[in-house]
Structure 1
Amino acid sequence: MASLKEVRNRIQSVSSTQQITKAMKMVAAAKLRRAQDNIVRMRPYAQRLNAILTNLTRNADDDIVSDYGVAREVRKVLVIAITSDRGLAGAFNTNVFKGVNAAIASRYSNLPAANISVMAIGKKAHDYYGRRGQTVGDYTHVFAKLSFETVRAAAEVAMDGFRNGIYDEVVMVYNEFRNVATQIIRTEQLLPLVQEEVPATATPESNVDYLFEPSKEEIVQTLIPQSIKIQLYKAVLESNASEHGARMTAMDKATDNAGELLKALKLTYNRTRQAAITTEILEIVGGAEALAAG
């Protein structure tokens, strides 16, 4: 049985850890509110922009969308893995790694490892894939000051690589935010552009006849790159909100577990203390009886 001093030290250590996890939960909750507001505002814009682009390019000439819409034989691939800069978020980052590995195994199992590059957005992904020599560029600074400008630089690298034939396909793997306790791994093709099919129950709004000024070609050529950058930015915002939700949940569970451990340690402390007192009483009684007998 552990001594009273050892149990006291463990109680102090667990209490300190519980205070830290409780504070981290509160910080994650505050950051989550801001991140959730950002993604809630971004989703309608990204969806509407994508719908407009789909309408514009559905009947467009091939030469209008050829830069980013032509499907080639897949020989070289860029996978954009979006993780966090820090840990202590449960399985948040591990799930992204599993998603990337699953995507490679299912979609690119016929390609050699040298033909698969990873653009790691977030320090955890950069460290993980950097040790394997697969990373392209350094984007560990994205979440330090998250904005469209910082994400746009990464998107332009991927777009230039695809347009110049360095990559034949670009996919991104990230956590989609549903709620505080639920994040879903998404694997989406960023390039070449995937033309969405119009459902049979589409509303008249989904097939709008636009008036173009200055011209349809110029508008489409401007909207396509913008749409690609917005899609990546949306994925990064989804990941950012998911990270704070996952960390909040993980720290909440850690705080509860620390509370349960404290109860067990205090019970052990009381039992150990009671046993020590009982032993002392028995020793005193035994000594008194020995003196009386003598």
Structure 2
Amino acid sequence: MPSLKEVKSRITSVMSTQQITKAMKMVAAAKLRRSQDRITQMRPFAEKLTAILKNLSAAQTDGDTDNWYSQVRAEKKILIIAVSSDRGLCGSFNTNVFKGVLRLIDEKYSAQFTAGNVTILPIGRKATDFFAKRGVSTVTDFSTLYSALTFDNVSNAMEYVMDAFKNGKFDKVELVYNEFRNVATQILRAEQVLPIVAPATENTQSTNQIDYIYQPSQEEIVTGLIPKSLKIQLFKALLDSNAAENGARMTAMDKATDNAGELLKQLRLTYNRTRQAAITKEILEIVGGAEALKSA
């Protein structure tokens, strides 16, 4: 049985940890409100613009338009954008992203990976550290985007991706991130960024029936709207991931606080039992000594 001093020291340590987890939960809740507002406002616009983007790419039949965004090439060199967090203590948030990327490579790009033609663009320090330790080829120029999460900074990252795809450095670009649903639910998403694919619909004629009127011209729409839409797609994914991270951290810290409370109950019970046993032992020693004196 542990001594009273040891049990009391553990109680003090758990109480200190519980205060920290409770404070982290409150901080995550405050950040969650802001990040949730940002993604709630961005999501309808981003989804509608992405739908227009895909329909626009699918409807282009003019051979004079250089729409390299939709050029399908042999999938020899693959770029995977992995969106994680900068900090831990958020449950399985980052682990899900890592598993999703590895599963994507295993199921679709195992041959390219074996040939060394799979590159990871990590966003977030956790993803950067994870893939660096495993010797995977990475592009770390944009790993610290979360330190200043603005549309301009995200645009720079997407411009690099678009230029690399246009120049043939990569033949396909995938995006893996956590989508925010609610505080307790994050859904892992794997989306194809480039080349742009037509929206999948049950009625295959629906896309062909879209009749666009281009103003000022089809070429200017392609060169203007599509890059902006791709930047917004990545920005939306980062906002989603940021909100999901705060939700996951809030949930994790809430559970940690509850677990600390349960542990405190057990430790206090152990402390009381140990104290009672010590008192009982002292009483028995006193009674035994008194009886010895009577006998003498």
| TM-score normalised to structure 1 length | 0.94
Work out the CA distance in 2 between the residues paired with 1:289 and 1:282: 10
The answer to whether the Cα contact below 8 Å between 1:26 and 1:248 also exists between their aligned partners in 2 is yes
Which of 188, 194, 201 is 1:191 aligned to? 194
Which of 234, 247, 253 is 2:236 aligned to? 234
The answer to whether the Cα contact below 8 Å between 2:58 and 2:197 also exists between their aligned partners in 1 is no
Tell me the SS of whatever aligns to 2:145: coil
One-letter code aligned to 1:229: K
Q: CA deviation at 1:55?
A: 3.8
Q: Match of 2:257?
A: 255
Q: CA deviation at 1:140?
A: 3.1
The answer to whether the Cα contact below 8 Å between 1:78 and 1:116 also exists between their aligned partners in 2 is yes
Q: CA deviation at 1:56?
A: 3.0
Q: CA deviation at 1:62?
A: 4.2
Work out the CA distance in 2 between the residues paired with 1:169 and 1:145: 27
The answer to whether the Cα contact below 8 Å between 2:154 and 2:234 also exists between their aligned partners in 1 is yes
One-letter code aligned to 2:87: R
Cα pair distance change 1:104/1:219, threshold 3 Å: same
Tell me the SS of whatever aligns to 1:10: helix
Q: Match of 1:219?
A: 221
Which of 166, 169, 172 is 1:169 aligned to? 172
Cα pair distance change 1:251/1:80, threshold 3 Å: same
Work out the CA distance in 1 between the residues paired with 2:70 and 2:139: 23
Tell me the SS of whatever aligns to 1:137: coil
Cα pair distance change 1:248/1:207, threshold 3 Å: farther
Work out the CA distance in 2 between the residues paired with 1:261 and 1:233: 42
Q: Match of 1:73?
A: 74
Which of 273, 277, 285 is 1:283 aligned to? 285
Superposed counterparts of 1:45-124, under 5 Å? 45-60=45-60, 61-64=62-65, 66-111=67-112, 112=114, 114-124=116-126
Tell me the SS of whatever aligns to 2:111: coil
The answer to whether the Cα contact below 8 Å between 2:55 and 2:199 also exists between their aligned partners in 1 is no
Q: Match of 2:270?
A: 268
Q: Percent identity?
A: 60
Cα pair distance change 1:13/1:62, threshold 3 Å: farther
Q: CA deviation at 1:212?
A: 3.2
Q: CA deviation at 1:214?
A: 2.0
One-letter code aligned to 2:130: Y
Q: CA deviation at 1:219?
A: 1.4
Answering whether residue 170 of structure 2 is matched by residue 157 of structure 1, we say no
Work out the CA distance in 1 between the residues paired with 2:65 and 2:212: 16
Q: CA deviation at 1:137?
A: 2.6
Q: CA deviation at 1:203?
A: 9.2
Cα pair distance change 1:62/1:193, threshold 3 Å: farther
The answer to whether the Cα contact below 8 Å between 1:57 and 1:65 also exists between their aligned partners in 2 is no
One-letter code aligned to 1:102: R
Work out the CA distance in 2 between the residues paired with 1:152 and 1:63: 27
Give per-residue Cα distances to partners, 1:56-106, cap 9 Å, x unaligned: 333322453531101100111000000000000001001100000000001
Q: Name which of structure 1's ranges 218-227 and 58-67 shifts more when overlaid on structure 2.
A: 58-67
Q: Match of 2:26?
A: 26
Tell me the SS of whatever aligns to 2:281: helix
Work out the CA distance in 2 between the residues paired with 1:201 and 1:30: 45
The answer to whether the Cα contact below 8 Å between 1:171 and 1:190 also exists between their aligned partners in 2 is yes
Tell me the SS of whatever aligns to 1:143: helix
Answering whether residue 39 of structure 2 is matched by residue 39 of structure 1, we say yes
Give per-residue Cα distances to partners, 1:226-264, cap 9 Å, x unaligned: 111111111111110110010000000000000000000
Cα pair distance change 1:24/1:65, threshold 3 Å: farther
Q: Match of 1:127?
A: 129
Give per-residue Cα distances to partners, 1:103-131, cap 9 Å, x unaligned: 00011112225111000000000111122
| TM-score normalised to structure 2 length | 0.94
Work out the CA distance in 1 between the residues paired with 2:66 and 2:52: 14
Superposed counterparts of 1:141-156, under 5 Å? 141-156=144-159
The answer to whether the Cα contact below 8 Å between 1:55 and 1:207 also exists between their aligned partners in 2 is no
Tell me the SS of whatever aligns to 1:213: coil
